[in-house]
């Protein structure tokens, strides 16, 4: 509490001290919240604290259960890395004034504490207030480079969409209060026990879905992430969108009936999010926008896990339920680790090259070897490849599908099969996308002059990233350690699952074993190769170019050409427009030409633009009263007064 | 362990049998069955040339690729011998492990900065992405049939006592055969013998490799063939068969597999590149057919 008040001091801090003051506050808060969440999660010693002031006439409690503790830990890990990373990264913005920097740090810290406090609030109105604080502070963070018009647009887009989300949440909360006369989240289960579940669930799902970025509520993500500074994108993509998932989980854990319908719905939306997220990511040229679309994909994977879990509860197949929820929850953690790493290394690339256009990059592995290594490991784990952490969560979800296929009734078998095809397709597309991202950005020849001045970023930036990297490897190689706290979270929140363990616990140790054996095989093959090369002559030559010795960097494959055979035949689904004048048959000496391709979100074009146009037209009708004449404006209160008097006289009010 | 040794041995003569079949069908004298072994030995002995553009990725990628295939071979059971590494859900690990090897080969191709290799990498990535669901569905149907989630027990419950089971066996064989052809870039998806880089897939991806690395890549390809033929032979081996019969079935299936590949290469033209996509996506409905067939069998049982 005191720490939050201290953050007001940002205003008066001199510029040089600002970053360190931010670090100090963040660390203090981090230490306190981690202490309590570890206590809650591992020692089952729940944390309760009554705030020293009254809120709307009620006492305001901060209370932490295992689910909150799990999310607090995730928030803390990413914030820790992000705050240290920002020290170096923000040095790029020398032209910013002291006030702008102060606002930035203030918003950063506000975003952090609001996320942590959010997970601990039981009171719905207080939740909504902190939710707004979180949205507003992240809005200021996105608007850091407000002098760019793209940033302004992205920020305002984000701002409006977040308020749509808040509107849905407000409706949900008011409905909840109306029927149960309570301003507490615990009223959810009372409501769900007495009334239809699906309607209120949909309202909350829409509200939280905006934040999480489920399709079709995802359109702010690909604009906001490229606009924001990288440590902010990492924080937003790594943890802030997960609070949408947190909200959905809170609602899901309270559900009483209609489970089948809700489960199918969540599963369907998640599959669409997953496939369209990664499908669109492949055609992006902006590295950070590509990563933003991958956030949508990964939210989809988390949602698939949750959907499978709900279906498992609906058919009372406890093994299926626990596999689904465990996979979803673990993927929340995993995604926060590798996605923030990807944003950090993309930020390092931007810091060094000042471009985000993938087609301008190339060959960075020689100039920035450590960043390239970090990006590679994070890409491998986002593709769900063993022995990294992404595999473990997808392993649970796949096992859930198989469980459903083996044990459930025929219709559910088919649903699970369909979802299995979807997840397999997502995995394949992710490999396609990240071979492109890593290969074009870091490998090959340098495609533009931007690359020439790049060098490795400082150790201050790299060391915190190694912390996340270590966790990725730890979860990948020793998954059995991480599973117990996750099972505890599920056991506490879903009573009927409280005694169920994962049906394939012993498989996890075997995965560690298999990962170890694989590493041994790799090392021994490498040693054999080393040994064989002792007597060999190794030469360095140019890449074989079919006897062509021209402009090597320009003849390389680019991101666009790599994706070309994927795009072929899908231009309309992906909504890609190309600007190119084809060479005519009679044109024997073709002139200089440009090729430009551009992808616009289908949802934005087909869904949001008509919707906003409709609203505009609707509000234009109301604009009739806005005449611009002072006399009219004086008339309006007068009319209102007369109406009020009439109404009072006739005893209506 | 015996089976692993046999896999290594068979992988060495497998391409020789394909080449021999092709030479016989086209009326040529053809090389000896051991020729690929000589080729591998020659490659292992050669010196190496690396492109100046490449980084450590290029040197490590064949190691990862080869190790992933070896590891995958270790995870396969044979008849009633259990696999060396086996656990519940191991087939997911198996598929993703092969994916890991492929990831490294694709980025290694991009590492050379060559347009040809970028082309090959893009195609390889696309095709392996398209084929992945089919393989998953096949294994999911086997999981459903056996009621378990591990390779070890997958093949026990498929007994050929009805026409439906035979139908499933044939379809599954066809599917695995085509996946093997695709994964090893053989006809009709890709032609390993073509010398026009613009139309190649896998071969163009490894264009800059030579010597030791190329040998690793080629051997890994041969091993992959044996892995798929082991999968096929597992379909037909019942655990009640005597030991010698199981081994015999495996060796015979592998030989037949190689001869079949040779026949396909002799008598089929390769697909146009653009129609490859469709040809690969067709494998998914086939695998769904297997799934429905398995469901029919299940209903019969209960």
On whether the CB atoms of residues B79 and B234 are closer than 8 A, the answer is yes
On whether the CB atoms of residues A95 and A56 are closer than 8 A, the answer is no
Structural tokens at position B17: 């049998």
Q: How far apart are the two ends of chain B, measured CA to CA in Å?
A: 38
Whether chain B has a CB inside 8 Å of the CB on A503: the answer is yes
Whether chain B has a CB inside 8 Å of the CB on A511: the answer is yes
With an 8 Å Cβ cutoff, are B48 and A539 in contact?
Answer: yes
Whether chain B has a CB inside 8 Å of the CB on A428: the answer is yes
Whether chain B has a CB inside 8 Å of the CB on A429: the answer is yes
Q: Is residue A635 part of a domain?
A: yes
Distance, CA of B82 to CA of A114 (rounded, Å) = 54
Which among A402, A438, A553 is the nearest to B143, CB-wise?
A402
Q: Is residue A83 part of a domain?
A: no
With an 8 Å Cβ cutoff, are B140 and A525 in contact?
Answer: no
pLDDT of residue A512: 87
pLDDT of residue B197: 67
Q: Is residue A300 part of a domain?
A: yes
Structural tokens at position B142: 């086997």
- Classify strands A596-599 and A576-579 as parallel, antiparallel or unpaired: antiparallel
DSSP A535-602: TS-EEEEPPP-TT--S-HHHHS--HHHHHHHHHTT-HHHHTEEEE--PPPTT-SS------EEEE--H
Which among A424, A507, A544 is the nearest to B87, CB-wise?
A507
Say how many domains are in chain B: 1
Structural tokens at position A631: 């006399």
Residues of A in contact with B106 (CB under 8 A): 431, 435, 439
Residues of A in contact with B297 (CB under 8 A): none
On whether the CB atoms of residues A81 and A340 are closer than 8 A, the answer is yes
Q: Is residue A561 part of a domain?
A: no
Whether chain B has a CB inside 8 Å of the CB on A411: the answer is no
- Considering the domain architecture, whether residues A493 and A641 belong to the same structural domain is answered as no
Positions in chain B whose pLDDT score sits under 70? 157-161, 195, 197, 300-302
pLDDT of residue B158: 67
Q: Classify the phi-psi angles of A128: left when phi > 0, otherwise alpha if psi is within -120 to 50, otherwise beta.
A: alpha
Whether chain B has a CB inside 8 Å of the CB on A539: the answer is yes
With tokens 């930036």, the residue in question is: A461
With an 8 Å Cβ cutoff, are B132 and A424 in contact?
Answer: yes
| CA-based nearest residue in chain B for residue A368 | B55
Residues of B in contact with A369 (CB under 8 A): 55
- The 3-state secondary structure of B119-154, one letter per residue: HHHHHHHHHHHHHHHHHHHHHHHHHHHHCCCCHHHH
User: How many residues belong to chain A?
Assistant: 653
Which among B113, B126, B137 is the nearest to A552, CB-wise?
B113
Q: Classify the phi-psi angles of B269: left when phi > 0, otherwise alpha if psi is within -120 to 50, otherwise beta.
A: beta
| CA-based nearest residue in chain A for residue B65 | A522
With an 8 Å Cβ cutoff, are A380 and B90 in contact?
Answer: no
CA distances from A614 to A356, A619, B57, B203, B292 (A): 35, 9, 53, 55, 47
Per DSSP, the three-state class of A580 is: coil
Structural tokens at position A391: 């595999």
pLDDT of residue A148: 84
Residues of B in contact with A445 (CB under 8 A): 53, 113
CA distances from A540 to A218, B49, B262 (A): 48, 6, 38
On whether the CB atoms of residues A300 and A248 are closer than 8 A, the answer is no
| CA-based nearest residue in chain A for residue B128 | A428
Interface confidence (ipTM) of the complex: 0.93
Question: Cβ of A447: how many Cβ atoms within 10 Å?
Answer: 22
Which of A406, A547, A560 would best serve as a mutation to test chain B binding (most B beta carbons within 10 A)?
Answer: A406
Which residues between 348 and 377 in chain A have a beta carbon less than 8 angstroms from any beta carbon of chain B?
A: 362-363, 365-366, 369, 372, 376
Residues of A in contact with B291 (CB under 8 A): 417
Helix (H) or strand (E) holding A107: helix A98-118
Cβ-count burial A578-592 (b if 16+ within 10 Å, e if not):
eeeeeeeeeeeeeee
Beta carbons within 8 Å of A230's beta carbon, 6+ residues apart: A85, A89, A288, A343, A344, A346, A347, A348, A350, A351
Distance, CA of B12 to CA of A251 (rounded, Å) = 58
Crossing angle, helix A318-353 and helix A389-407, to 10 degrees? 150
pLDDT of residue A653: 67
Largest CA distance in chain A: 107
Positions in chain A whose pLDDT score sits under 70? 1-16, 52-58, 502-504, 569, 572, 653
Dihedral pair phi/psi, residue A64, rounded to 5° = -120, 125
On whether the CB atoms of residues B190 and B261 are closer than 8 A, the answer is no
| CA-based nearest residue in chain B for residue A558 | B118
On whether the CB atoms of residues A458 and A483 are closer than 8 A, the answer is no
Residue after which a domain boundary falls, among A493, A509, A530 = A530
Query: Minimal Cα–Cα distance from B299 to chain A, Å?
Result: 10
Residue after which a domain boundary falls, among A530, A563, A583 = A530
Per DSSP, the three-state class of A23 is: helix
Question: Cβ of A496: how many Cβ atoms within 10 Å?
Answer: 10
With an 8 Å Cβ cutoff, are A510 and B85 in contact?
Answer: yes
| CA-based nearest residue in chain A for residue B75 | A514
Query: Minimal Cα–Cα distance from A421 to chain B, Å?
Result: 5
Per DSSP, the three-state class of A205 is: helix
Helices (H) and strands (E) in chain A, counts: 27, 5
Structural tokens at position A117: 């406090």
CA distances from B94 to A198, A387, B98 (A): 39, 12, 6
| CA-based nearest residue in chain B for residue A545 | B114
Tens of pLDDT along A263-311? 999 999 999 999 988 888 888 888 999 999 999 999 999 999 999 999 9
Distance, CA of A84 to CA of A71 (rounded, Å) = 20
Q: Is residue A553 part of a domain?
A: no
Structural tokens at position A128: 């909504």
Residue after which a domain boundary falls, among A530, A552, A575 = A530
Whether chain B has a CB inside 8 Å of the CB on A279: the answer is no
Say how many domains are in chain A: 2
pLDDT of residue A3: 59
Q: How far is CA A486 from the centre of its chain?
A: 20
- Which of A573, A565, A568, A567 has the alpha carbon at shortest distance from A600? A573
- Quote the domain boundaries for residue B119: 2-301
Q: Is residue A525 part of a domain?
A: yes
Residues of B in contact with A530 (CB under 8 A): none
On whether the CB atoms of residues B119 and A555 are closer than 8 A, the answer is no
* Predicted model pTM: 0.91
Q: How far apart are the two ends of chain A, measured CA to CA in Å?
A: 44
Beta strands in chain B (DSSP E): 48-51
Whether chain B has a CB inside 8 Å of the CB on A532: the answer is yes
- Quote the domain boundaries for residue A515: 278-530
Distance, CA of B56 to CA of B47 (rounded, Å) = 18
Distance, CA of A575 to CA of A647 (rounded, Å) = 55
């Amino acid at each position: 509490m005191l720490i939050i008040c201290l953050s007001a001091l940002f205003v008066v801090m001199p510029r040089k001290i600002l970053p360190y003051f931010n670090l100090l506050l963040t660390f203090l808060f981090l230490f306190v919240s981690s202490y309590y969440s570890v206590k809650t999660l591992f020692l089952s010693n729940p944390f309760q604290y009554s705030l020293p002031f009254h809120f709307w006439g009620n006492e305001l409690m901060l209370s932490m259960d295992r689910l909150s503790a799990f999310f607090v830990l995730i928030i803390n890990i990413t914030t820790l890395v992000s705050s240290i990373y920002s020290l170096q990264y923000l040095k790029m913005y020398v032209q910013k004034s002291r006030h702008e920097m102060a606002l930035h740090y203030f918003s950063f810290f506000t975003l952090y504490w609001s996320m942590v406090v959010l997970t601990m609030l039981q009171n719905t109105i207080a939740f909504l207030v902190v939710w707004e604080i979180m949205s507003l502070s992240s809005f200021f963070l996105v608007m850091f480079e407000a002098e760019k018009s793209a940033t302004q647009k992205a920020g305002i887009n984000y701002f409006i969409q977040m308020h749509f989300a808040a509107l849905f949440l407000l409706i949900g909360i008011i409905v909840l209060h109306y029927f149960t006369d309570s301003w507490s989240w615990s009223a959810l289960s009372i409501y769900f026990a007495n009334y239809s579940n699906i309607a209120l669930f949909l309202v909350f799902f829409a509200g939280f879905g905006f934040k999480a970025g489920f399709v079709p509520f995802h359109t702010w993500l690909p604009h906001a992430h490229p606009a924001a500074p990288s440590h902010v994108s990492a924080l937003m993509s790594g943890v802030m969108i997960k609070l949408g998932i947190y909200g959905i989980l809170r609602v899901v854990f309270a559900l009483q009936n209609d489970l089948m319908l809700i489960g199918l719905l969540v599963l369907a939306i998640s599959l669409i999010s997953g496939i369209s997220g990664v499908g669109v990511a492949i055609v992006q040229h902006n590295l950070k926008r590509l990563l933003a679309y991958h956030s949508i994909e990964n939210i989809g994977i988390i949602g698939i896990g949750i959907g499978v879990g709900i279906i498992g509860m609906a058919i009372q197949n406890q093994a299926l339920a626990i596999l689904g929820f465990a996979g979803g929850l673990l993927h929340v953690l995993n995604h926060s680790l590798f996605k923030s790493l990807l944003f950090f290394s993309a930020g390092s690339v931007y810091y060094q090259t000042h471009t985000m256009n993938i087609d301008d990059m190339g060959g960075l592995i020689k100039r920035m070897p450590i960043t390239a290594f970090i990006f590679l490991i994070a890409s491998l784990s986002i593709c769900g490849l063993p022995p990294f952490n992404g595999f473990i969560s997808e392993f649970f979800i796949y096992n859930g599908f198989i469980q459903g296929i083996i044990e459930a009734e025929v219709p559910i078998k088919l649903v699970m099969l369909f979802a299995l095809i979807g997840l397999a397709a997502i995995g394949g597309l992710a490999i396609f996308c990240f071979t492109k991202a890593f290969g074009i950005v870091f490998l090959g020849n340098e495609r533009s002059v931007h690359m020439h001045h790049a060098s490795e970023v400082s150790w201050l930036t790299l060391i915190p990233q190694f912390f996340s990297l270590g966790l990725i490897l730890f979860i990948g190689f020793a998954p059995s350690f991480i599973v117990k706290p996750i099972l505890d979270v599920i056991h506490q929140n879903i009573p009927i699952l409280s005694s169920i363990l994962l049906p394939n616990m012993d498989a996890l140790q075997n995965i560690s074993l298999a990962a170890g054996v694989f590493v041994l095989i790799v090392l021994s093959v490498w040693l054999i190769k080393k040994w064989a090369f002792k007597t060999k002559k190794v030469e360095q030559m140019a890449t074989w170019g079919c006897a062509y010795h021209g402009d090597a960097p320009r003849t390389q494959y680019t991101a666009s050409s790599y994706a070309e055979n994927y795009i072929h035949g899908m231009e309309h689904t992906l909504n890609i427009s190309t600007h190119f004048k084809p060479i005519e048959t009679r044109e024997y000496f073709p002139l200089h030409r440009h090729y430009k391709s551009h992808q616009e979100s289908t949802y934005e074009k087909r869904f949001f633009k008509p919707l906003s146009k409709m609203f505009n037209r609707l509000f234009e009708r109301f604009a009739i009263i806005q005449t611009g004449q002072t006399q009219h404006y004086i008339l309006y209160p007068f009319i209102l007064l007369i109406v009020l008097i009439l109404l009072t006289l006739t005893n209506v009010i | 362990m015996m089976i692993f040794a046999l896999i290594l041995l068979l992988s060495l003569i497998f391409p020789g049998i394909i080449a021999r079949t092709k030479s016989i069908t086209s009326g040529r004298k053809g090389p000896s069955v051991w020729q690929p072994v000589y080729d591998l030995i020659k490659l292992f002995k050669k010196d190496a040339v690396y492109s100046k553009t490449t980084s450590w990725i290029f040197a490590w990628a064949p190691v990862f690729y080869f190790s992933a295939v070896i590891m995958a071979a270790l995870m396969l059971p044979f008849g009633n011998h259990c696999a060396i590494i086996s656990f519940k859900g191991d087939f997911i690990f198996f598929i993703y492990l092969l994916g890991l090897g492929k990831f490294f080969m694709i980025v290694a191709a991009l590492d050379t900065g060559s347009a040809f290799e970028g082309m090959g990498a893009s195609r390889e990535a696309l095709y392996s992405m398209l084929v992945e669901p089919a393989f998953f569905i096949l294994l999911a149907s086997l999981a459903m049939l056996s009621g378990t989630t591990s390779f070890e027990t997958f093949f026990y419950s498929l007994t050929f006592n009805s026409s439906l089971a035979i139908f499933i066996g044939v379809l599954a064989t066809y599917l695995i055969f085509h996946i093997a052809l695709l994964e090893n870039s053989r006809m009709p998806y890709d032609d390993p013998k073509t010398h026009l880089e613009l139309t190649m897939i896998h071969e163009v991806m490894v264009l800059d490799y030579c010597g030791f690395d190329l040998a690793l890549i080629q051997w890994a390809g041969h091993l992959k063939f044996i892995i798929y033929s082991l999968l096929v032979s597992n379909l037909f081996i019942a655990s009640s068969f005597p030991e010698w019969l199981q081994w015999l079935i495996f060796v015979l299936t592998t030989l037949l597999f190689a001869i079949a590949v040779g026949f396909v290469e002799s008598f089929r033209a390769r697909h146009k590149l653009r129609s490859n996509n469709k040809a690969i996506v067709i494998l998914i409905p086939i695998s769904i057919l297997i799934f429905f067939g398995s469901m029919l069998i299940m209903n019969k049982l209960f």
